Structure 1
């Protein structure tokens, strides 16, 4: 083997991937020639193939698509959406606005789905050690609150008394469980959390979109971090839509609130530097 071959082998190993194999006139995704996939599979199926290495069953693809559709948008007041609009009005192109908005989908705004899957997994681990569902839920919720505070990801909503998206998603999970597409285990865990919250609070605190989609991602076997990643794919559609709408308006430097609305100053009263001749 020549010195050049050594470097070629080093580079090939350095950028090794099992996702795509590209040669002149050939593109194979997870082994499938791309031309055989075009027009034959849906975008949710393609997402699954890229992330998981195999094509999903029709039932799995249907659930993934439902989660993607449900999460695309939540109005211009959602921080990621608002940022996309402000960014466009400041002169950014669509891709720049999308990047700015997607970067806000962190632990507080956008991270609840991942956190809910992590919580479901913690409860599952307690069950695996012999705890009943009720005991596992109570122990895991108490541990979560002790570490993270009283906010519970995936339950309750600041705007919707009952999230209109969650019920439909959970019904689809139940249908899929009945057809043995998914086990239904995580749906039972999430409902166990709802039951505990109702007992402790004395009122219903139902699942929101983050909790319902977390059930789907957990049922489908997606790791917690991928739950957030797939949510970002979904919300990118809403971000793009709002950025494009904003681009059609003659507004410049759009701020977080109308200019006619004043802010409240809470600092020192006017004062002067001692050296000033006043």
Structure 2
């Protein structure tokens, strides 16, 4: 039996939700090219596509959009939970805690019985979770800074309302459209770490709020969703385009990560990064008073050029985190929010996979390749010369 680290290339399920061709740099949702969806669709419409497998009619889209608007407000008890968290709590940790607590407000075990009679609950909780995600992230941005949160509005789109709740100002149409495209691009990406977490937790028939909370925990790691925040920190360290080459060469020489570069699934540039770069460059030039791109964006372009020179032959190119972080920074979002915005978008894909898992559910129970000791003889305390310290010593020697 062969052990494959990270289950790389090992099929874990059959799915109709999304598809990646890493050689061609292709990503589709339910057969629709991501580039076309980012250009022509909306997050609300794309969410329906992911959930149900077809583009909705006008009436179906309007009905779903209205349901999301009606469910943006959260119960005051949920806000009380948030108020009692330390102000230093990272937005992703807040989101994990609070989304898990939603199971207390929207409890049900009915869907566990299976059958179409439980579809109303599944649809209802899907809407509530997706609608609440943006509200929670936006409210926490104010609460962690000591201010009362801004209440959501029903007259705005999903992206517009999020901008309004974060800034307190009427949303700029251009920024709202670009944020909408970001949400679409981040909504789904086959069986990544957090989506696999969704499937594993969902397969136990846990409450869907607990399922999504577990996915949020998985996304919070810097090797998954947290990379876009790390990209900004990296670009701020570089400071200026002329410093990029020395910085990248030093990182490569020390075999350190170049944040936002490379993706296990792609051997060419991440199509989402290509779309974001094009959309961002066009809008940032439009918004710039000088008619020039910001220094951070210019630095990012230079980093990409240098990395392509050194890493392109290995199939390492920018991924979606590389440009999404820059874009969120230009919108005025605090870098600590970046991964939670990712979670807001990805909630659509998580819920789609949870629903798909339920349709043909079997609890996940993989096996392992055992590499531990054989038959050991138990010794009393008086007979033991070596203990845990010897193990730790061996580990330290290996690390050195």
Same fold (TM over 0.5): yes
Separation in structure 2 between the aligned mates of residue 215 and residue 273 of structure 1, nearest angstrom: 57
Matches within 5 A, 1:123-142: 123=238, 126-127=239-240, 133-135=241-243, 137-141=244-248
Other-structure match for 2:333: 222
Other-structure match for 2:72: none
Instruction: Determine if contact 1:116/1:214 at 8 Å carries over to the other structure.
Output: yes
| C-alpha spacing 1:219/1:153, structure 2 compared with 1 (3 Å) | same
| Aligned with residue 212 of structure 1, among 323, 341, 358 | 323
Instruction: Determine if contact 2:248/2:306 at 8 Å carries over to the other structure.
Output: no
For the pair 1:159 / 2:255, whether they are aligned, the reply is: no
Other-structure match for 2:74: none
Higher relative contact order (CA 8 A, sep 6+): 1
What secondary structure is seen at the aligned counterpart in 2 of 1:155? coil
Other-structure match for 2:230: 115
What secondary structure is seen at the aligned counterpart in 1 of 2:301? helix
Query: How many Å apart are 1:53 and its aligned residue?
Result: 2.1
What secondary structure is seen at the aligned counterpart in 2 of 1:48? helix
What secondary structure is seen at the aligned counterpart in 2 of 1:243? helix
Instruction: Determine if contact 1:94/1:244 at 8 Å carries over to the other structure.
Output: no
What secondary structure is seen at the aligned counterpart in 1 of 2:197? helix
| Aligned with residue 52 of structure 1, among 167, 177, 184 | 167
Query: How many Å apart are 1:192 and its aligned residue?
Result: 0.9
Query: How many Å apart are 1:195 and its aligned residue?
Result: 1.7
Instruction: Determine if contact 1:170/1:187 at 8 Å carries over to the other structure.
Output: no
Other-structure match for 2:10: none
Query: How many Å apart are 1:145 and its aligned residue?
Result: 6.8
| Aligned with residue 301 of structure 2, among 177, 191, 195 | 191
TM-score under structure 2 normalisation? 0.52
Q: Please tell me whether Structure 1 or Structure 2 has the larger radius of gyration of its CA atoms.
A: 1
| C-alpha spacing 1:140/1:19, structure 2 compared with 1 (3 Å) | farther
Instruction: Determine if contact 1:119/1:140 at 8 Å carries over to the other structure.
Output: no
| C-alpha spacing 1:195/1:173, structure 2 compared with 1 (3 Å) | same
Query: How many Å apart are 1:271 and its aligned residue?
Result: 5.3
Separation in structure 1 between the aligned mates of residue 167 and residue 225 of structure 2, nearest angstrom: 22
What is the root-mean-square deviation in Å for CA atoms of aligned residues?
2.8
Separation in structure 2 between the aligned mates of residue 72 and residue 248 of structure 1, nearest angstrom: 21
Instruction: Determine if contact 1:116/1:154 at 8 Å carries over to the other structure.
Output: yes
Instruction: Determine if contact 1:45/1:61 at 8 Å carries over to the other structure.
Output: yes
Matches within 5 A, 1:29-48: 29=151, 37-38=153-154, 40-48=155-163
Aligned length: 231
Separation in structure 2 between the aligned mates of residue 199 and residue 94 of structure 1, nearest angstrom: 45
TM-score under structure 1 normalisation? 0.73
For the pair 1:70 / 2:177, whether they are aligned, the reply is: no
| Aligned with residue 98 of structure 1, among 212, 230, 240 | 212
Query: How many Å apart are 1:158 and its aligned residue?
Result: 1.5
Q: Which has the higher helix share?
A: 2
Instruction: Determine if contact 1:173/1:184 at 8 Å carries over to the other structure.
Output: no
Separation in structure 2 between the aligned mates of residue 166 and residue 81 of structure 1, nearest angstrom: 20
| Aligned with residue 169 of structure 1, among 272, 276, 289 | 276
Q: 5+ unaligned residues in a row in structure 2: which ranges?
A: 1-82, 84-142, 381-400
What secondary structure is seen at the aligned counterpart in 2 of 1:104? helix
Query: How many Å apart are 1:245 and its aligned residue?
Result: 1.5
Query: How many Å apart are 1:246 and its aligned residue?
Result: 1.1
